[in-house]
Amino acid sequence: MIAYPRWKIALVVIVLIAGIFLALPNLFGEENALQLAADRAAVTEADRTAVVQLLTDKGTTPSGVFLEQGRLTLRFSSKQDQLKARDLIAEGRPGQFTIALSQASRVPTWMRNLGLNPVKLGLDLRGGVYLVYQVDIQGAVKQLLDRREQDFRASLRNARVAYQDVVVDYPQAKVRVLFRDAEALAKGKAAIVADNRNVNLAETTSGGAAALELQLTPQEIKERQDYAVSQNIVILRNRLNSPELAVSEPQVAREGVDRIAIQLPGLQNSAEVKKILGKTATLEFRMVDETDNPLEAAATGRVPLGSKLFYTRDKQPVLLRRDVVVTGDQLTDATFQPNTQDGAAVSVGLDSRGAAKMLKNTQENLGHLMAVVFIDRSREKNAQGVEVDRTTEEVINRATIRGVFSNNFVITGVNPIEGRELALLLRAGGLAAPLTPVEERAIGPSLGQDNIDKGIKAMVFGMAAAFIFMLVYYKVFGFIADVALAANVILLTALLSVFGAALTLPGIAAVVLTVGMAVDANILIYERIREELRNGVTPRAAIAAGFERALSAIMDSNITALIAGVVLWSFGAGAIRGFAVVLVLGIFTSVFTSVMGSHALVQVIYGGKRKLDRLSI
């Protein structure tokens, strides 16, 4: 008998059965769907029941309904039912849900409950929206300089050190602090270094005045620019993955030096998403100037020293103190509350530094007014088509401090729509640098389906050619190779499903390439067996020698391919990474099926024969 451990045969059988089970969801296909996200944290079972009942009463019954990641997904058998259901929900439940047109798998509920899902299709196969944003990396450096200026002023003010001015030189990436004399400079340097331990200050002169100068090095500038891009990627992912946006499977990746590419497979309506992505929203908490007249300041244009003029949403002037109690950078959490005693509200959490400041401020200002300033920054085109930064500062809330609080409190005075958006933006964080949209492409489901059809046709023809060649040339051993190749595709599909990797059009090409590599491995084994037979070795010994001696060549070729795939996976983006993901996973499955799988099947066919005179190879 051919010596091959039974435990290896059992392992191959177990792996193959598991692969078939994990790949099953891919047989069910997709349907048009609606994704609903609630204004609060998640859609509930009660919401699900109410929406389904609403649609059923109107004669539009979903073919499938499920809750996943706080969103409700409704499947429909036709595009007409999908659009009709969207209108019915918008009319029957106005303002309660964000509704997105999408597509969803027809996987049975029991499979979904077990966590089994089909392979995620990339944008080129599924259709959807492709967005590219450019990060203002120079603006990121400018923001850093502005922050340093504010920090220096705060340190000098808290230490009660007199200074002339703090000047920012943006082209030279410098911040200068001007003093009247050397004594003030020494005190100022000590105060700044105490609060900002990572800054390197040089003593110099400017216009005859003693000065401290912070000069950003080229390395610091580059690090700040890289940080701006990477931080924006994190923030965009947080926004896209939030419950308030009905977006599933978003893909966000860096593209080049200063661009970010976003793929939203299956999304058919991107208006709500685009509205949120490029915005930077934050809050400032300031005390109200209760001694001066805001109407007079607005009419004359003369703002009292130490105050700043703002306006409410209804264009009423308000005077606020220049000193900011807490800024949006110190927020740790923000949750929208649609139904409170005072209407819609946003519950806010502060970090330890912000909580200490808020505690001190409320202790000292009981009975006085504190205001919340909403700052909205976005980039849009003006009448001439030029991209410009737009900043809106509005007082959204004024309330009397009636008790002492620190790290948790509630902001009222917001309407449900802006409250949900404000909570999302605050929780996800502010962009590290402004974004400018540079490209947008919408790929329709019909085009995606056409890509799928062509890709599958190419894969079927390529695999069929390999199957026929192996069967004709190697006979029974060719049949064994074909079974191993089919198992390879099944296992690869299962791995893509389990890991949640997106299959793109280049990924289909990688599947065909993987099949070719698996064929190569089988050919190496079979040719080695034929060589041993020509040398007069017995069939049993030839089989053992063929698998054993071809293994080193198979491993060498696959390791070199694996290295190339890992490099492409690590440094590539978009289509390149989609190709690399399938290639790397395919290398592991092809080695397993070609070596262990083929050997196990050879054992099943020939291992039980007492007398083996010839091999069909």
pLDDT value at 365 more than 80:
yes
Q: Are 315 and 413 in contact (CB under 8 A)?
A: no
pLDDT value at 473 more than 70:
yes
Q: For residues 510 and 222, what is the distance between their CA atoms, to the nearest angstrom? A: 36
pLDDT value at 447 more than 60:
no
Residue range 290-316: mean pLDDT, rounded: 88
The whole-number pLDDT of residue 196 equals 74
pLDDT value at 586 more than 70:
yes
Same domain, 46 and 12: no
Q: For residues 358 and 404, what is the distance between their CA atoms, to the nearest angstrom? A: 9
Compare 102 and 432 and report the one with higher pLDDT: 102
Look at residue 120 and tell me if it is in a domain: no
pLDDT band at 188 (very low <50, low <70, confident <90, very high): confident
The torsion defined by the Cα of 547, 548, 554 and 560, in degrees rounded to 10, comes to 160
- Residue 39 CB contacts under 8 Å (≥ 6 apart), including other chains: 95, 96, 97, 98, 244, 336, 338, 416, 419, 420
76-87 pLDDT, tens digit per residue, is 988 888 889 888
Same domain, 177 and 291: no
Look at residue 134 and tell me if it is in a domain: yes
pLDDT value at 482 more than 60:
yes
Look at residue 468 and tell me if it is in a domain: yes
DSSP state, 312? B
Same domain, 468 and 377: no
Same domain, 374 and 453: no
Distance of CA 512 to the CA centre of its chain: 29
Look at residue 515 and tell me if it is in a domain: yes
Q: Which of 246, 277, 308 is the last residue of a domain?
A: 277
Residue range 481-497: mean pLDDT, rounded: 90
Q: For residues 318 and 303, what is the distance between their CA atoms, to the nearest angstrom? A: 11
Residue 208: domain span: 128-277
Nearest CA-CA partner of 126 in 457, 513, 508: 508
DSSP state, 430? -
pLDDT value at 259 more than 80:
yes
Look at residue 616 and tell me if it is in a domain: no
Residue range 453-475: mean pLDDT, rounded: 83
Compare 265 and 88 and report the one with higher pLDDT: 88
Same domain, 258 and 329: no
Q: Are 121 and 443 in contact (CB under 8 A)?
A: no
pLDDT value at 560 more than 80:
yes
Indicate which CATH number applies to the domain containing 460.
1.20.1640.10
Average per-residue pLDDT for the chain: 81
91-142 pLDDT, tens digit per residue, is 888 767 777 777 788 888 888 888 888 888 777 777 778 888 888 888 788 8
Q: Which of 247, 277, 307 is the last residue of a domain?
A: 277
- Residue 338 CB contacts under 8 Å (≥ 6 apart), including other chains: 39, 40, 344, 416, 419, 420
Query: Total domain count for the chain?
Result: 4
pLDDT band at 340 (very low <50, low <70, confident <90, very high): low
Look at residue 346 and tell me if it is in a domain: yes
Compare 20 and 603 and report the one with higher pLDDT: 20
Same domain, 174 and 322: no
Same domain, 208 and 318: no
Look at residue 118 and tell me if it is in a domain: no
The torsion defined by the Cα of 501, 505, 506 and 508, in degrees rounded to 10, comes to 80
The whole-number pLDDT of residue 248 equals 58
Residue 616, helix vs strand vs coil: coil
Dihedrals phi, psi of 5, to nearest 5 degrees: -55, 140
The whole-number pLDDT of residue 1 equals 46
pLDDT band at 494 (very low <50, low <70, confident <90, very high): very high
**Please, what is the Cα angle at 117 between 112 and 123, to 5 degrees?**
135
Q: For residues 40 and 339, what is the distance between their CA atoms, to the nearest angstrom? A: 10
pLDDT band at 36 (very low <50, low <70, confident <90, very high): confident
Indicate which CATH number applies to the domain containing 41.
3.30.70.260
- Residue 465 CB contacts under 8 Å (≥ 6 apart), including other chains: none
Q: Which of 277, 294, 321 is the last residue of a domain?
A: 277
pTM of the model: 0.62
The alpha-helical segments, DSSP class H, found in 413-444 are 416-428
Same domain, 237 and 290: no
Residue range 545-573: mean pLDDT, rounded: 85
Cβ atoms within 10 Å of 411's Cβ, excluding its own? 23
Dihedrals phi, psi of 249, to nearest 5 degrees: 55, 45
Q: How far is CA 287 from CA 71, 151, 281, in A?
A: 39, 20, 20
**C-alpha torsion sign, points 371, 377, 380, 383:** positive
Same domain, 523 and 560: yes
> Residue holding tokens 């190749």?
485
pLDDT value at 412 more than 80:
no
Q: Are 504 and 124 in contact (CB under 8 A)?
A: yes
Q: Are 397 and 310 in contact (CB under 8 A)?
A: no
Same domain, 422 and 475: no
DSSP state, 501? P
37-74 pLDDT, tens digit per residue, is 765 456 788 888 888 888 988 888 888 888 876 778 88
Same domain, 459 and 595: yes
Q: For residues 178 and 175, what is the distance between their CA atoms, to the nearest angstrom? A: 10
- Residue 256 CB contacts under 8 Å (≥ 6 apart), including other chains: none
Residue range 582-597: mean pLDDT, rounded: 90
pLDDT value at 319 more than 90:
yes
The whole-number pLDDT of residue 589 equals 92
Look at residue 592 and tell me if it is in a domain: yes
Same domain, 475 and 421: no
